[in-house]
Amino acid sequence: MNMDSTTALAADAQLIKAIHGGDERALSQLYRLHWPMVSHFVLQNSGSEDDARDVYQEGVMVFYEKVREGSLELSCQIKTYLYAVCRRLWLKRLTTKSRLHGVRLLDEEEYGPYLNTGAEDDLQEAEERDRRFATMSEALTHLGEPCRSLLEGFYLLDKSMLDLTAEHGYTNADTAKTQKYKCLTRLKKLFFASYKEA
């Protein structure tokens, strides 16, 4: 391994540590650092600026979630990992939206070893999670009021039980809590029903 990539890997490790610790500036730095690469790649492969942005945000999300969980096993530079994830994501979008059957991507030479970065598995995991969230969001909309706003308020918007009691006009926090648990059991049924069926 040459000096360059050794120092790069060291810097990457530092960055990952900072992001894992919740350093927003580190994440922002990482984001800015690799954006040109991905945007260039997408623009090169018949995508627009907005496509590039979507793909990149998705890719960074996969990376970020893995880092936050502490389950990222990086066998290459962050740059290569991100390139691999975004490449995969863009290829997927292209094939779904393109009428042409064989989509061939123009690749940058320097990201050659993108195929064995483990990015593929991480991406699959993230997609599985996406599907779960989509099902959850759907279950929530099917739940109906007041359950939906109650659960969304509590879980998604981080409101306190007291706020929710006032908001929904319950006599006290305990009633609201009981209501919340009832709603949760209903949500469970809806969620499992549609998640397993899918």
- Residues of this chain that interact with other proteins (CB under 8 A) are 4, 7-8, 10-12, 24, 27-29, 31-37, 40, 43-49, 53, 56-57, 60-61, 64-65, 77, 79, 129, 132-133, 136-137, 151, 155-156, 158, 177-178, 181-182, 184-185, 187-188, 191-192
- Angle subtended by helix axes 173-197 and 119-143, to nearest 10: 120
State the nearest-atom distance from the C-beta of 136 to other proteins, in Å.
5
Angle separating helix axes 78-97 and 3-20, nearest 10 degrees: 80
Q: How far is the CB of 66 from other proteins (least distance, A)?
A: 12
Q: Least distance from C-beta 93 to other proteins, angstroms?
A: 14
Q: CB 118 → other proteins: shortest distance, Å?
A: 20
Task: Compute the half-sphere exposure of residue 172: CA atoms within 13 Å on the CB side of its CA.
Answer: 1
End-to-end CA distance of the chain: 46
Structural tokens at position 106? 């123009």
Nearer to other proteins, 49 or 121 (CB): 49
Phi, psi of 10 (to 5 degrees): -65, -45
Q: Which is nearer to other proteins, 121 or 130 (CB)?
A: 130
Give the shortest CB-28-to-other proteins separation in angstroms: 5
Residue of 41, 65, 66, 67 lying closest to 53 (CA atoms): 41
